[in-house]
Structure 1
Amino acid sequence: MPSIGAPVPLCAGHVDAVSEWIETETGRTDLLPAPCRVCGSRLGARYPSGWVCAVCEWRVGEVLDGELPPPRIDVVYYIRFDGRIKIGTTANPRQRLQRLWHDDVLAFERGDRLVERRRHEQFAALRQGRSEWFSPAPPLDRHIAGIAAGVDDPWARYTRWVSEALALRG
């Protein structure tokens, strides 16, 4: 019995066969058995031959080249704590933000100390003393919203940057 509304009249058995064939060609998107050892993503594609990370395309189980250091991705981070916003920089945001009290990670922006210094100068009127903490205000809020536009999770953006750096490495 053909499936009603299908673009090609196939019975349920043939639809299943085609679906299985497509999965062998394109993989089936699913959660990886464990976080990717290269980029930390949990999203993968499952093929009959095994798993591949959907972000950096590392084949699960392949030996990592221990001689290569992880890529350095400098970021300017924007975090909120107790009604204040901190603008800082780091090459290791997970480690750095574990040591800082914060309620929310608002955004990541690619950049090093030079970009951080520019942001401190840009929002100097909102700076609290000589610290890296700033009072929320429309100009700063707009800047953070612009950086975060189209990004639901700042960590996903950082993971993509690391993956891109790894891919460029070859």
Structure 2
Amino acid sequence: MRCAIEGCDGMPEPGASVPLCSDHLFAAYETVSRDHGITDLLPSPCVACGSRLGVRWPSGWLCAICEWRHGEWPDAERPDARVDVVYYVRSGDRIKIGTSGNPRSRLAALRFDSLLAFERGGRALEQQRHWMFAELRFAGSEWFRAEEPLLTHIESMSTGEDAWNQYFRWVSARLALASGVSPWGSEPG
């Protein structure tokens, strides 16, 4: 059997649902992807709604749910994109517990070795954590000795994913709620 395209002597690709050679299968794929896009999993969750389902176009990925362009970040100045977090950063044998509504900007201004975790919450939660770990605190600062029980607390927040991915998921969910689009792919009800 030969390729179904008249005049083509190529052999059909094994397992292809249509008897086309690899060159004609690729040409069909390119036509479909250009005109209709290819639905697939996004490389990472959509930052606007949290969906993993995307459409790949020649110009790039779009979220299949909210059509946010993959790789673009929400404007940090948008009030509906703000997610207050308590952050835990390590520098040597010290850990800083701080808070910010714009952690990218805040952490860019700090010197530290590693970001350990984010925890959803604002100033009240930060003060609660300072009180919880007061015996480890360096006087007059937001820095604490990297010892138990602080290390255990930080470990308990670990979801196995990068802290920034977790933060961007929270921003995505916040934006989805503000826009009325569910991060799970259907209208909120």
Mark yes or no: TM-score above 0.5: yes
Q: Structure 2: which 5+ residue stretches go unaligned?
A: 1-10, 180-189
Distance 1:129 1:161 in 2: 33
Distance 1:86 1:55 in 2: 38
Identity %: 49
What are the within-5 Å matches in structure 2 for residues 99-110 of structure 1? 99-110=109-120
Give per-residue Cα distances to partners, 1:83-108, cap 9 Å, x unaligned.
Answer: 20000001010111111110000000
Is 1:140 equivalent to 2:153 in the alignment?
A: no
Distance 2:92 2:60 in 1: 46
Q: One-letter code of the match for 2:61?
A: W
Distance 2:117 2:110 in 1: 15
Q: One-letter code of the match for 2:159?
A: A
Is 1:27 equivalent to 2:40 in the alignment?
A: yes
* Aligned pairs, number: 156
Q: Report the equivalent of 1:84.
A: 94
| Cα contact 1:56–1:164 (8 A) shared by 2 | no
Distance 1:97 1:56 in 2: 29
Structure 1 residues 12 and 78 mapped into 2: Cα distance closer, same or farther (>3 Å)?
farther
Structure of larger gyration radius: 2
Matching residue within 174, 177, 181 for 1:168: 177
| Cα contact 2:80–2:174 (8 A) shared by 1 | no
Q: Structure 1: which 5+ residue stretches go unaligned?
A: none
Q: Report the equivalent of 2:83.
A: 73
SS of the counterpart of 2:149?
helix
TM-score computed with the length of structure 2 as normaliser: 0.63
Structure 1 residues 56 and 135 mapped into 2: Cα distance closer, same or farther (>3 Å)?
farther
Distance 1:54 1:155 in 2: 23
TM-score computed with the length of structure 1 as normaliser: 0.69
Is 1:117 equivalent to 2:127 in the alignment?
A: yes
